[in-house]
Amino acid sequence: MFLKGKTALVTGSTSGIGLAYAKAFAAEGANLVINGFGDAAAIETERAALEATSGGKALYSGHDLTKPDQIAAMMAEAAAAFGGVDILVNNAGVQHVAPVEEFPVDKWDLIIALNLTAAFHTTRLALPHMKQAKWAGSSRPPRPIRSSPRRSNRLM
């Protein structure tokens, strides 16, 4: 298993594309931190399945990624549980489509907070461990993954 002993944190991973990323990492033996929202029982079922697949540990974090202090708490939990994040997939995101003059300001603020600011903070907080662990290789910088929001996570 290629990723045994490594830890992957995937935002927006309780369903859809993010869950597919988490399953792929689990299949390679990674420890996982999944994040998102949804039915608690369904999330626990997925978390347990990921853990069984990986042979490692899977942690669920329900922190709100629109709040920088909660992002910091999630990253601290990952560090406490696993020593740090080796693989970061910034998958969480929302979308809303409307003409500019009709675009609700609260939707704009949510899109910027989740799609942009959250990715900045998770990346900023993950990079020190990635660099220290030299997981990306000594001649290459770490490369967090940014997955674009899809219609499947469209905000209505």
CA–CA gap between residue 19 and residue 126 (Å, rounded): 20
CA–CA gap between residue 136 and residue 131 (Å, rounded): 8
Residues with Cβ within 8 Å of residue 7, at least 6 apart in sequence: 30, 31, 32, 33, 78, 82, 83, 84, 85, 86, 87
Ramachandran angles phi, psi of 154, nearest 5°: -65, 135
Which pLDDT belongs to residue 134?
Answer: 76
Domain boundaries, the chain: 7-153
89 DSSP assignment = E
* Residues 63-88, mean pLDDT to the nearest whole number: 97
Which pLDDT belongs to residue 99?
Answer: 96
What pLDDT, in 10s, does the model give residues 5-25?
A: 999 999 999 999 999 999 999
Rounded to two decimals, the pTM is 0.87
Q: How confident is the model at residue 153 (pLDDT cuts 50, 70, 90)?
A: very low
What pLDDT, in 10s, does the model give residues 124-133?
A: 999 999 988 8
What order of strands is seen across the sheet that includes strand 145-146? 58-61, 31-35, 7-10, 87-90, 145-146
What pLDDT, in 10s, does the model give residues 100-120?
A: 999 999 999 999 999 999 999
What pLDDT, in 10s, does the model give residues 33-42?
A: 999 999 999 9
Tell me which residue of 4, 3, 23, 5 sits closest to 13, measured CA to CA: 23
7-153 placed in CATH 3.90.650.10: no
